[in-house]
């Protein structure tokens, strides 16, 4: 009987713990936060760690720990939803761009190029103009922004896979288009996509802070990690730890997701799977 994968690899186990903790806090964050994350205290601006404020306070005297705990939920939701949108859309575009009639492939990949050249800020402003600001619209915008990168990765991987004989074998057996895509192509391009996915999660969290600036998504004073890092950069002199805490949280979460992504990739590949 095989032991459950994480128990054979301490690193994977730790990563799994980190991710579960983050997800757990996303659920209960507002309840366990020691302070009101929005409460301003003019007497305690930019303070270092103390017994009252464990991780110090920000430029308005708000408790950083509470803001971190409460900020997880929007951060994680935006990151996960936008990555899913980018992964599904981008992979579809990429596979069509590599494995379909040349005319079709040409137009799909040129459409991807246009998306790639479209400034993210402009897209965000468009969305703000048409849409109510919120996590949904933010996720969609970030998802669309990351589609071209997924499409590029998926396309080049697909181009390599369809040159292999087992794809020709599927054709020779009379397989239909969708069978070839789902049985032959998709499982074999998964590794680069998983890596791209873990990178996208991290990038989406950072992009979220930039777009929040434009009033899209999580509008201040509501906290989110990306937004906190963005603001803290202006207060490096007054309170250096202000930028460290959210950055450390983000770094460890992303690292854990990366390790899990790698473990997932290895597990999905029968050649790398340990028996």
Q: Which residues bind other proteins (CB under 8 A)?
A: 164-166, 168-176, 179, 183-184, 187-188, 268-271
| Rounded CA separation 4/6 (Å) | 6
**DSSP string of 86-116, one letter each residue:** HHHHHHHHHHHHHSS-HHHHHHHHHHHHHHH
- CA atoms 211, 217, 220, 223: torsion sign: negative
Closer to other proteins by CB, 122 or 173: give it: 173
Shortest Cβ distance from residue 139 to other proteins (Å)? 30
| Rounded CA separation 1/16 (Å) | 22
- CA atoms 266, 270, 271, 275: torsion sign: positive
Shortest Cβ distance from residue 175 to other proteins (Å)? 5
Closer to other proteins by CB, 27 or 268: give it: 268
| Rounded CA separation 213/231 (Å) | 10
Give the residue from 77, 47, 115, 108 showing the smallest Cα distance to 218.
77
Closer to other proteins by CB, 32 or 169: give it: 169
Closer to other proteins by CB, 132 or 271: give it: 271
Closer to other proteins by CB, 191 or 231: give it: 191
Shortest Cβ distance from residue 189 to other proteins (Å)? 10
Alpha helices in the chain, H assignment, sequence order:
10-32, 64-98, 102-117, 120-130, 135-162, 165-172, 177-179, 186-188, 190-212, 225-232, 240-268
User: Which residues does 70 contact at the CB level (< 8 Å), separation at least 6?
Assistant: 29, 30, 33, 37, 223
Shortest Cβ distance from residue 267 to other proteins (Å)? 12
Shortest Cβ distance from residue 217 to other proteins (Å)? 38
Closer to other proteins by CB, 130 or 177: give it: 177
Shortest Cβ distance from residue 172 to other proteins (Å)? 4
Shortest Cβ distance from residue 8 to other proteins (Å)? 13
Closer to other proteins by CB, 7 or 182: give it: 182
């Amino acid at each position: 009987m095989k032991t459950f994968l994480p128990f054979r690899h301490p690193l994977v186990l730790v990563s799994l713990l980190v991710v579960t903790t983050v997800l757990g806090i996303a659920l209960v964050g507002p309840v366990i936060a020691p302070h009101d994350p929005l409460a301003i205290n003019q007497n305690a601006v930019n303070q270092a760690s103390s017994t009252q404020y464990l991780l110090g306070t920000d430029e308005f005297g708000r408790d950083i720990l509470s803001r971190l705990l409460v900020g997880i939920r929007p951060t994680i939701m935006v990151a996960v939803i936008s990555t899913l949108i980018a992964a599904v859309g981008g992979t579809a575009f990429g596979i069509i761009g590599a494995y379909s009639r040349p005319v079709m492939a040409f137009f799909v990949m040129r459409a991807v190029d246009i998306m790639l050249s479209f400034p993210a800020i402009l897209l965000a402003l468009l969305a703000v103009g048409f849409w109510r600001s919120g996590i949904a619209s933010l996720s969609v915008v970030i998802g669309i922004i990351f589609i071209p990168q997924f499409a590029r990765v998926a396309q080049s991987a697909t181009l390599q896979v369809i040159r292999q004989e087992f794809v020709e074998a599927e054709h020779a057996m009379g397989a239909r288009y969708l069978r070839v895509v789902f049985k032959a192509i998709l499982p074999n391009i998964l590794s680069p996509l998983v890596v791209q996915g873990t990178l996208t999660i991290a990038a989406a969290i950072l992009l979220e802070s930039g777009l929040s600036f434009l009033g899209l998504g999580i509008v201040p004073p509501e906290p989110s990690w990306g937004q906190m890092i963005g603001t803290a950069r202006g207060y490096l002199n007054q309170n250096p730890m202000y930028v460290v805490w959210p950055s450390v949280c983000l770094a460890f979460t992303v690292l854990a997701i990366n390790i899990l992504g790698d473990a997932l990739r290895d597990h999905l590949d029968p050649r790398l799977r340990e028996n």
